[in-house]
Amino acid sequence: MSDTQLPQGDPKGQDSGVHPAHSGPTGAPTPMADRPDTASTDDQSSAHQVAEAAAQSSTEPKPVENEYDGADRETQPAPSHDVPESFNVTVIVRRYDPEVDDEPRWVDYDVQMYPTERILDALHRIKWEQDPSLAFRRSCAHGICGSDAMRINGKNRLACKALVKDFDISKPIYVEAIKGLPLEKDLIVNMEPFFDSYREIQPFLQAASKPEKERHQTIAQRERFDDTTKCILCAACTTSCPVFWTDGQYFGPAAIVNAHRFIFDSRDEASQVRLDILNDKEGVWRCRTTFNCTDACPRGIQVTKAIAEVKQALISGVKL
């Protein structure tokens, strides 16, 4: 970035350190560093006292006691922080247009990126500035909606949570669609098989009793399934599973996570129904504990642990 784009004031690193609010508390060597007995806070408060004394000794009587003319206000602009440098990143995207391509193909893009940006920003830049035909899903852009799970450098993540600075940008960054679901276009897959499995485990509260007010639950009972309530249905886990890649019929971690969320809910009465569904040949017993799902989950859900708990519930009953 050129200097003309810098906010006015100190160019990076040129701060003289005289600004009272900026010297001292950072712990950086300051003129006070040779006086360890003088805490930097003292130093600041003494600066305030000087300012107050100066205001009181003014010859002009102040008509209003509270009047504040802003004389002792900080007049310097806030110290500028280092302006991040942009750098060139090579992003290689696995493109596929069913109307043109027989096979997906890898396409290179050079993008200028800042370390604070994410892979999603790189995809935006490619789509907005280089090739508007690039197709991918995203909605919230902040890790909530779960639409932009993709395989980035061989690992499932949300593009909107994958920071560029966490990658080695001396090498290209590979971006491709999640694996195991039918590829529709570029980074978009058909999510229907995924949602079919989700629907099949009946992801809704089933309780016949009608309480007078609300259904009571203790903190401990709520805590029991708290982890699995966090799922955003991004499919990062299911499409990271080697079993799912080779056997698309497998329910997959996400469906089991959402079954877990109700199986271990003390208010729900259909745990056994869901357990019977997951006792299927394509159910929990397909899990080979590779922990790819746990590593991939952008919500930090302990997915393999949840699956293990469902397996245990099938063997020895639900322990709430």
Cα–Cα nearest to 252, from 300, 299, 204, 288: 288
Q: Residue with structure tokens 């679901």?
A: 181
Structure tokens at 57: 């000794």
Q: Which pairing describes strands 173-176 and 155-158: parallel, antiparallel, or unpaired?
A: unpaired
Write out the DSSP string of 65-124: TT----TTS--SPPPPPPPPPPEEEEEEEEE--TTT-SS-EEEEEEEEE-TT-BHHHHHH
140 binds, among ligand SF4, ligand FES, another protein, none (CB under 5 to 8 A by kind): ligand FES
CA distances in angstroms from 43 to 24, 26, 51, 52, listed in the order given: 8, 13, 13, 15
Q: Is 188 an interacting residue with respect to ligand FES (CB under 6 A)?
A: no
* Complex with ligand FES: residue 139 or 289, whichever CB lies closer: 139
Structure tokens at 262: 């109700």
- What is the CB-side half-sphere exposure of residue 80 using CA atoms within 13 A? 14
155 binds, among ligand SF4, ligand FES, another protein, none (CB under 5 to 8 A by kind): another protein
Cα–Cα nearest to 284, from 311, 257, 304: 311
Q: Is 239 an interacting residue with respect to ligand FES (CB under 6 A)?
A: no
Which one of 89, 119, 146, 225 is in contact with ligand FES (CB under 6 A)? 146
To ligand FES, the closest distance from the beta carbon of 301 in angstroms equals 14
* Complex with ligand FES: residue 147 or 238, whichever CB lies closer: 147
305 binds, among another protein, ligand FES, ligand SF4, none (CB under 5 to 8 A by kind): another protein
* Complex with another protein: residue 42 or 223, whichever CB lies closer: 223
To ligand FES, the closest distance from the beta carbon of 241 in angstroms equals 20
Q: Residues in the site for ligand SF4, rule: CB under 6 A?
A: 146, 231-237, 253-254, 257, 296-299, 301, 303
Q: Phi-psi bin for 89: left (phi > 0), alpha (psi -120 to 50), beta?
A: beta
Which one of 50, 78, 140, 205 is in contact with ligand FES (CB under 6 A)? 140
> SS3 of 157, please?
strand
* Complex with ligand FES: residue 142 or 222, whichever CB lies closer: 142
257 binds, among ligand FES, another protein, ligand SF4, none (CB under 5 to 8 A by kind): ligand SF4
Binding site for ligand FES (CB under 6 A): 138-141, 143-148, 158, 160
